């Protein structure tokens, strides 16, 4: 079965609210691009205005959510609030949050559950840091992350999850994983999903690669069997570059 492709833009803490509509609007104008669903994940402050651009080919997502439905969590936003606003996706477990929020790792599973329960599709991030990669312990490390964050989820819910493998050493460094390195990890993630939840889920789940994806390296990565698209940081802030990446993914799907 052919898996549909995704290219998701993680704007991180970039772009002013007054600039967001112009940037996202230019992306929207270049769509649809065959076989690819594009997702824009701007900062929370831009979500409301960008919702009007949402369509079959362009979805809007958030970069994080709180695991509780409501309550005394100053500064936080719940999955329900995002869903009510019209969001389709939410990034959960990005390494920039795992590294800077001491409680983040322990909350990821609950955040994914909260997102799934409200009908938001989680884009769940995993990936190893450089010391782990240098010790060649990356496959085991990511399996442990999957085990901790996903193994308690129920079939019947988890089908909506999208996984993003983002090696920390490749994020914002200009040094992407090679197609072979990424494929090795994606195949291992897919095998873990099959072993844990059955081959249907293993085969159907979209697994994205993230980490210094650019127009020049996108096609070689996208051609790998188990790479179903990208989670793009820096390059998503440049419309031409981003759209070239989307075209590469489309081209790889047509091969």
124, 211, 229, 245: which one binds ligand 13P (CB under 6 A):
211
Contact 38, 58 (CB under 8 A): yes
Provide the token pair at 179.
């197609």
Closest distance to ligand 13P from the beta carbon of 96 (Å): 7
Alpha carbons 120 and 84: distance in angstroms, whole number: 10
232 near ligand 13P, judged by CB under 6 A: yes
Q: Which position among 37, 67, 104, 166 bears the catalytic label?
A: 166
Token pair in block for residue 100: 């800077």
The least CB distance from residue 100 to ligand 13P, in Å, is 13
* 116 vs 161: CA distance, rounded Å: 8
Neighbours of 26 (CB within 10 A): 13
Active site (annotated) includes residue 180:
no
**Could you tell me if 38 and 9 are in contact, meaning their C-beta atoms sit under 8 angstroms apart?**
yes
In the complex, the smallest distance separating the C-beta of residue 8 from ligand 13P, rounded to whole angstroms, is 8
Catalytic residue among 37, 46, 67, 94, which?
Answer: 94
* 149 or 166: CB nearest ligand 13P: 166
Q: 162-165 and 121-126 as β-strands: parallel, antiparallel, unpaired?
A: parallel
**Residue 7 in contact with residue 41, Cβ under 8 Å?**
no
Cβ proximity to ligand 13P, 162 vs 232, nearer residue: 232
Provide the mask over 87-116, with x wherever binding to ligand 13P is found by CB under 6 A and - wherever it is not.
Answer: -------x----------------------
Query: Which of 172, 175, 198, 200 is close enough to bind ligand 13P by CB under 6 A?
Result: 172
| C-alpha span between 3 and 227 (Å, rounded) | 10
Of the pair 112, 197, the CB lying nearest ligand 13P is at: 112
Residue from 10, 183, 205, 224 in contact with ligand 13P (CB under 6 A): 10
Instruction: Please state, in angstroms and rounded to a whole number, the distance separating the CA atoms of residues 33 and 250.
Output: 7
Residues within the interface to ligand 13P (CB under 6 A): 10, 94, 166, 171-172, 210-213, 231-235
Catalytic residue numbers, as ranges: 94, 166
């Amino acid at each position: 079965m052919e898996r549909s492709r995704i290219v998701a833009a993680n704007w991180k803490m970039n772009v002013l609210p007054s600039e967001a509509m112009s940037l996202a609007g230019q992306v929207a104008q270049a769509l649809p691009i065959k076989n690819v669903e594009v997702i824009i994940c701007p900062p929370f402050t831009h979500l409301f205005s960008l919702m009007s651009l949402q369509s079959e080919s362009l979805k809007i997502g958030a970069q994080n959510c709180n695991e509780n439905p409501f309550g005394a969590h100053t500064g936080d936003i719940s999955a329900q609030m995002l869903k009510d606003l019209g969001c389709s996706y939410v990034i959960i477990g990005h390494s920039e949050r795992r590294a800077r929020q001491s409680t983040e790792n322990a909350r990821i599973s609950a955040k994914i559950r909260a997102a799934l329960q409200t009908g938001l599709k989680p884009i769940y991030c995993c990936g190893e840091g450089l010391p782990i990669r240098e010790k060649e312990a990356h496959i085991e490390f990511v399996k442990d992350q999957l085990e901790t964050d996903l193994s308690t989820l129920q079939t019947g819910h988890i089908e909506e999850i999208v996984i993003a493998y983002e090696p920390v050493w490749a994020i914002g460094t200009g040094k992407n994983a090679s197609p072979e390195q990424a494929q090795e990890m994606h195949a291992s993630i897919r095998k873990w999903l099959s072993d844990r939840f059955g081959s249907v889920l293993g085969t159907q789940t979209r697994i994205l690669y993230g980490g210094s994806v650019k127009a020049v390296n996108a096609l070689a990565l996208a051609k790998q069997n188990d790479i179903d698209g990208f989670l793009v940081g820096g390059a998503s802030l440049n419309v031409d570059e981003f759209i070239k990446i989307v075209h590469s993914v489309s081209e790889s799907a047509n091969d």
